[in-house]
Each structure stands twice: as C-alpha cells, then as structure tokens.
Structure 1
C-alpha cells in the first residue's frame, strides 16, 4: 500500500513548485546577468544543467551536454542511486538528489535548464514543473506517455517561452535535410506512401505480469519511480530497462524507435496530425491451442497504418505504415537481392510517383532507389546542416538555451516533437484496441477493437467510433499526482 506521509510530502512539494512558478516564472526567464545585480559577471557562454534520470541513456545525455564545451552539470537526480553512481562519479561537483521535486524546490534558482531521461510515464509531469519555473528542457523520446500530455507540453513550451528539444538525435542528422532537398527537387515525385520498421522490441512483451514479488533494492525509491502509474508491488527485472514493454510505464517499440524512424517523413513531407489509424498485432500462445491475453503488456509485434491529410508538400493523403517486432515491408523491386534494405533491422522507405528513397536508423545514409541513381545526384544544398549531425543535437540545444527563447533553431522543438509523438501514441491506441475484450451473456468472448479503423477527432483529442480506447488518450494518474496545467 502507498504511504500517507509520502502523499502528503508530494502534495506540499507540488504546491511549493506551483506557488514559486506563479511568483517567479517571469523572473526566472530573464537573462542570468540581469538577475545577478551589480558586480555580477554574466556567464553568457555557459549553461548550468540539472539532470533528472542520469543513469543509462541519461548518463550519455549528461556527458554530451558537457562535451559541448558550453554546459556545466550543476545538479544530478535519480531515484536509483546505484544506476546513477557512474554519472555522480564523473561529475563530483554536481549536487545529487533522489527526489526531483526536492531538487526543483531547493535549487531552481541555481540552474538554467533541465535534462529529463526517465521512463515514459514520468516525462510530462517533470517537464511541466521545470517549464513552469522558466527552465529550458531537453526530454528523451518519446516526449510523453499520452496524447493529452503531448498536446499540453506543446502548448506549455509556447506559454512559458523556454527552449525545448526532444532526444531524437536523428532529427539533427544530415539525412532528413538531404531527403528534403531531394524531395523538393522532385527526384521521386509526390510521396503517397511511407514505410517505417524496426526489429525492436529487444525486451519482453506480450507476457503476463510477474507473480513473484521481490524485495525492493535499497538503492531504489520504488514509490517515486512509479510516479503517476498505479501502485504495484516491486518485481524483479522491470527496472532499469524492461518497463518499456508495459503500458503503465512504457510505449513499446513505437515509443522507443518511432521518433527516430518517423521523424524524417514528418520533416520531409510536412506531416502533422493523422485522421485515422488501424492496427494488427502479433500473438503469443500460453499453450499449443490457446492464445495469450495480456492487455497490460505491449504486443510482441505490430503493423499499424496511419492516414495523414494532404499537406503543402503533398498532392494528396499520405499513408504511413509502421512495423515492429521484426516485421518488414516487401523489398522494393529496385533493390538487388543482396542489397541491404534500410540498415537491416530498421529503416524508412518513401514511395513517390517518380521513384523511391530510403534511409537507416536516425535517418542516416539516405539513398535513392535504384542505388545506381546516387552516383549522379546534383541537387544544391539549401538546408543548413547541424554541426556533427546526431551528436550535435545536444550542443545545438545548449547553444539555443544560452541564446534564449526564439533566438536559435533546434531540430526537435516541442512544436515539432509534440505532433510527432501524438502520431506514435495514436498508433498505440489502435494497438491497445486489439486487446479490448468483451464477454457476452452466453459466455462468448469477442474483440471488437480488431479489424476496424479508428477515426480521430483531433480538436477534441478523441476517437469517435470506438470509445473504449479514449481512456488511454488521457490516463488517470495515481492519487496524489497531477500534471499541474
């Protein structure tokens, strides 16, 4: 059971953050030299970063900000002290906290920006709290766990006027810019169909929740790790990685790889919000004759089809196919039998009226098909490249933060990352719809969410023809937690 005193502490800390934000949001977004007063030397070329979630991918993020040469790591925060130990050792001058709310409460005047690399279900709440304090934010992909959260973060970035960036490094690669130049030059005609695929998940999915309750490690604050999710007893091997396969915490292969593989279609074609979606999913068997039914877990594989309306860069609707779990589209006839499709396990394929082009993970290595076409491409470069490509994604955000809101371009601000994330999460609505189970009076079981197309009302953020999945558009947070906007 949850502990009452923890709920009380959570409420008081959130109240503090909210009150502080109201009183000082305008104050905090001023340049730091204005805040310092007479005799203060402006650190105009340095960004003080606080990291929340600093083990694993978070450790890499923190190191990359520091390597930009313009960031100092001032504070570190993680619910798992063992997981964070390496980063803490690398930055011994950074003050460490276990509770991000306490860090924001006590230290918000002492840093400029926040890096958030926590499980998907906790992204939105932490990000909102940071933005309300006038902090620039870098958030790992996917931006949020729910569509509602993505929409609210997109709006909040404009409201609080902070620099934002989602951690899909491929958005800073040369690949998307190269493909935009090819497409704008008409090399493949009008694109009407796109395929994106991945060999992930590489963690367990389509399985029952473990019945083996384990002892919570001394280094882990399990209650704080759960954050907005329903309380459950701790089970072994969920943390630090396998949470991705459970809907309470993760968003499956789509959340993990979709931002990397679908970013290019969004930027090249100007896609934004889909109008409808349908999905089919792979099954697992609990015995020789019976399929497993595990609605708490993401499926082992899926094929999702999203329809996007005509954009200024297309002549009509665009159909986007997503495939995961090792499923791939049929090889293009322009590829020779031994040519690598995508990068083998992952890729994106654009099909136009005059030709095709494909790329690898992170939109790397773009190629026209057939591959022989790449020898004679003479398209002028018109989109500025990000120095160091995907690796430069971090420095780009650091420099934009130093410059201030609206002064420098970033590759994946929330105005772009928000709609991209919504598309992925809309696809997950269709995937989860496959698990909606109903039992009739005579005991027959049916799955009404399978083999249908979900129709999306974008303004009201709801599916209009299958209400069962709308509960996932805006999930109910655990008692004591709120998004705050």
Structure 2
C-alpha cells in the first residue's frame, strides 16, 4: 500500500467507533523520529483530560483512538487531533481492546482505574503506558506485573524523571561511590494544591450531563457526585488516590530507590505522622514526615508540604551531598561546591539511558526490551508511597517484608494493602 492509501484505510476503519484524542507535552518527553507507516505503533489513549492531554501530544503521530468518560474532554481531544489525522472516539475503554488496528494503550485515568485498564489491555495483547502512581493499592501492582509477564507485554510506568539526564547522572554518581558511604536520602514533596484549584468546599449534587459519573467511579465505592472530588481533585481522596504522597512520591521516591539499586525491593520499616485539613475539605495529608529504613541501613527521610526538605532528592554521604530536581543537579564534595556536577566522572556502573520517556516506550514495543520504568519498577516505587500512607493512617511503625510483599504482625495495616472493588468490577488476575 502507498502511505496515503494506508492512512485512508486506517481512518475509514476507525471512524465508526467512539473515541477521541488530545495532546500535550510531559516532562522530558520526546517523539521517535521518522517512523515508516509500517513501523508506527498505533496507540489508543484512555483518559484525555489533564495529564492525559500532555501524554497525547507526546505520542501524537501514533494516536489512532481515544477514550474518556467526560464528553467535554472527548470533544476537545477530537478537535485537537483533527488538526492532523482524524481519530476514533469512545467512552468505554473496553470497546478499544478487541480492535486489531490498535497496538498499544496509553492510560492517563485517575489512579483507581490504572490496574483494570492495564490488566485488561495486557490480556487483549496490547502494550501499555500507564501513568504514575501505577496503583491505588499494593496488591494491584503485583497483578499488573503478572498480567504483563504472562501476556509478554511491554508496560512503561509514567515516572518520567527516570528519562531525565540529571536524575540518571545523580544516581550514577551515588551508585559509583562519589559520596563515599551513603548515609541518608532526603526527599521533599509538595503540599496539596486542592485549595488553589477548588477555591472552596461545595455540597454534593448531580453530575453534569457531559460526565458518565457511574463509569468514572468504576471500581470505586458508590457515593453522591461532588465537583470537588472529580477530575484533578480526585487526587486528594482515598477512594481514588493517595494525595501528593503517591503523586510526587512516585517520582522522587522512585529516584531514591533507583540510586539505592533497589528497584526490585523496598524498605523494611516505615514510620510517619501527618496533619490533615481541619475543615475536612479533602482526606489526604496536608503535611507529613516519614522515615523509610532499608536493609542496608540507609534511611530515606521524606517530608510533604511547606517547611520540609527541599524539593527533589538529596543524597547525603561521607564526602558530601548531591541534590537533584527537575532541570537541576548540585553537588557539595569535601566541603566545596562543585561548579559543574556533570563533569564529575560517574564510574563503571552505568544506568539505562532513555532518549525520552514516551519514545523509550515506543522503541521498546518494537524491540521487546523492558523499558526504563518497567511495570515491576513502577509497582515497587508505588509500594513505597503506599506504605508511607499506611504508616500515617494507622499511626504505627510498619514492618515490611519486600520479598513476600507483606506487612509483618499488623493485620489492620495489612488490610490497607488491598481494596474491595465495587460490583460488577473485578480485577481478574
């Protein structure tokens, strides 16, 4: 087929369905260059509001279909994509999974949908890019890993900082002993931006006609619609997410584990305390202070909110400190500030080099190599975030066995590792 004819056939095969699309850049995202039509990975985007729009733009030339439970998002996405190639639209992601002209699914839904979309897509033979945090609860992650492995699927987690050169360089320096013996890692997460977005509390009411609220809830508990619990604000309610702890922790605690060389493990004890909104406008912490202790003796001290650790990740060792955040890396060695940390030699231990988080995913779909933030890594990093929240919610020190992935000696805390789905939704894996 000629390129023109192939595209015409593709458009004709999709326009009878119901999905939509919209684009926007994500941190460090880059597109694969000059793909031939026969080599293009055909992507369906599930969730095209907020971050979903950013993910759409990052893979724009690959998008053939999109899906959202909110018709406002769907229509805006469709209009944006019509500037290039027309795409198909749907309000139910399951309608996409049987299509032979879709190779992969990019999931940017609220967190409580991540596991279902990813597992179903893997079972349908689709590769997946799933936004961070990978999961709502720990047990979902192991099911997602198993679904990916059993079905031989490529699953990239959207913890995009792994594809930033500043984070890779900082982790290589730590791994190669630039700080001598590592003593502590400090992580600073931002406080919630609920108030700045919602402005004030509002009463429960009826969902707008543009939102399929029952489908938006999906496996989450049934409750009246409230405008301050949906779309971006879902992040600050336990039914759908874990607050800034899982939002930004899935980036910075992920980097801490990368530097520690513990992508397949986790801490052994977790303790923490938090403050909450006095008016109960939202449920997740306003501020928090946590300590994750690893088997090698290193402690990761993580704060959330104003007055805590500096933003990003700071590694503290015998010889000094290395700090890294988006777009910046700084080092203090032997009492002196390093003028250009990129000139510091890292050593023999080299880490995965990504040319861009989305580009890495698309390339790995073709090569079948595991991506830079494979589903197992995403699961382990999300687990650290969840364990911090469990320690906060129970008010107790948690003992964790990272090998068996169990909380030791605390049934109440262990119950928070999983969550019952609202019927008829079931995670079948």
Instruction: Give, in whole Å, the separation in 2 of the partners of 1:143 and 1:241.
Output: 16
Query: Counterparts of 1:43-192 in structure 2 under 5 Å?
Result: 43-66=37-60, 71-92=61-82, 93-105=86-98, 107=99, 109-192=100-183
In structure 1, the partner of 2:409 is 465
1:195 to 154, 176, 186: 186
Instruction: Give, in whole Å, the separation in 2 of the partners of 1:241 and 1:309.
Output: 36
1:395 to 347, 359, 373: 359
Indicate conservation of the 8 Å contact 1:56/1:83, yes or no.
no
Instruction: Give, in whole Å, the separation in 2 of the partners of 1:328 and 1:176.
Output: 21
Structure 2 residue runs of 5 or longer lacking an equivalent are: 1-35
DSSP 3-state at the match of 1:216 = coil
Indicate conservation of the 8 Å contact 2:166/2:328, yes or no.
yes
Indicate conservation of the 8 Å contact 1:146/1:472, yes or no.
yes
1:478 to 402, 422, 425: 422
Indicate conservation of the 8 Å contact 1:151/1:422, yes or no.
no
**Per-residue deviation, 1:44:** 4.0
Indicate conservation of the 8 Å contact 2:173/2:346, yes or no.
no
1:379 to 345, 348, 353: 345
Provide TM-score, normalisation by structure 2. 0.83
Query: Counterparts of 1:201-216 in structure 2 under 5 Å?
Result: 201-204=192-195, 212-216=203-207
Structure 1 residue runs of 5 or longer lacking an equivalent are: 1-41, 287-291, 311-316, 330-341, 434-449
Instruction: Give, in whole Å, the separation in 1 of the partners of 2:39 and 2:117.
Output: 26
2:283 to 297, 317, 322: 297
Cα deviation digits, residues 228-273 of structure 1 (max 9, x gap): 1110011123221111110001111111101211222211111222
Indicate conservation of the 8 Å contact 2:46/2:67, yes or no.
yes
**Per-residue deviation, 1:484:** 1.0
**Per-residue deviation, 1:75:** 0.9
Instruction: Give, in whole Å, the separation in 2 of the partners of 1:170 and 1:238.
Output: 27
Runs of 4+ in 1 over 3 A off after TM superposition: 283-286, 374-378, 380-385, 457-462
2:281 maps to 1:273? no
- Relative to structure 1, the CA distance from residue 227 to residue 419 in structure 2 (aligned partners, 3 Å threshold; closer, same or farther) is same
Instruction: Give, in whole Å, the separation in 2 of the partners of 1:384 and 1:121.
Output: 30
Query: Counterparts of 1:242-391 in structure 2 under 5 Å?
Result: 242-271=233-262, 272-285=265-278, 297-310=283-296, 317-329=297-309, 342=310, 346-361=311-326, 364-369=327-332, 372-375=337-340, 377-379=343-345, 382-383=350-351, 385-387=353-355
DSSP 3-state at the match of 2:206 = coil
DSSP 3-state at the match of 1:248 = coil
Indicate conservation of the 8 Å contact 2:131/2:157, yes or no.
yes
Structure number, greater radius of gyration: 1
Instruction: Give, in whole Å, the separation in 1 of the partners of 2:320 and 2:59.
Output: 40
Q: Which moved more, 1:369-378 or 1:347-356?
A: 369-378
DSSP 3-state at the match of 1:374 = coil
- Relative to structure 1, the CA distance from residue 466 to residue 113 in structure 2 (aligned partners, 3 Å threshold; closer, same or farther) is same
Instruction: Give, in whole Å, the separation in 2 of the partners of 1:297 and 1:265.
Output: 26
In structure 2, the partner of 1:32 is none
DSSP 3-state at the match of 2:229 = coil
- Relative to structure 1, the CA distance from residue 270 to residue 185 in structure 2 (aligned partners, 3 Å threshold; closer, same or farther) is closer
2:403 maps to 1:426? no
In structure 2, the partner of 1:26 is none
Provide TM-score, normalisation by structure 1. 0.74
In structure 2, the partner of 1:441 is none
- Relative to structure 1, the CA distance from residue 459 to residue 185 in structure 2 (aligned partners, 3 Å threshold; closer, same or farther) is closer
**Per-residue deviation, 1:430:** 0.9
DSSP 3-state at the match of 2:62 = strand
Instruction: Give, in whole Å, the separation in 2 of the partners of 1:420 and 1:380.
Output: 24
Instruction: Give, in whole Å, the separation in 2 of the partners of 1:480 and 1:227.
Output: 9
| CA RMSD after TM alignment | 2.4
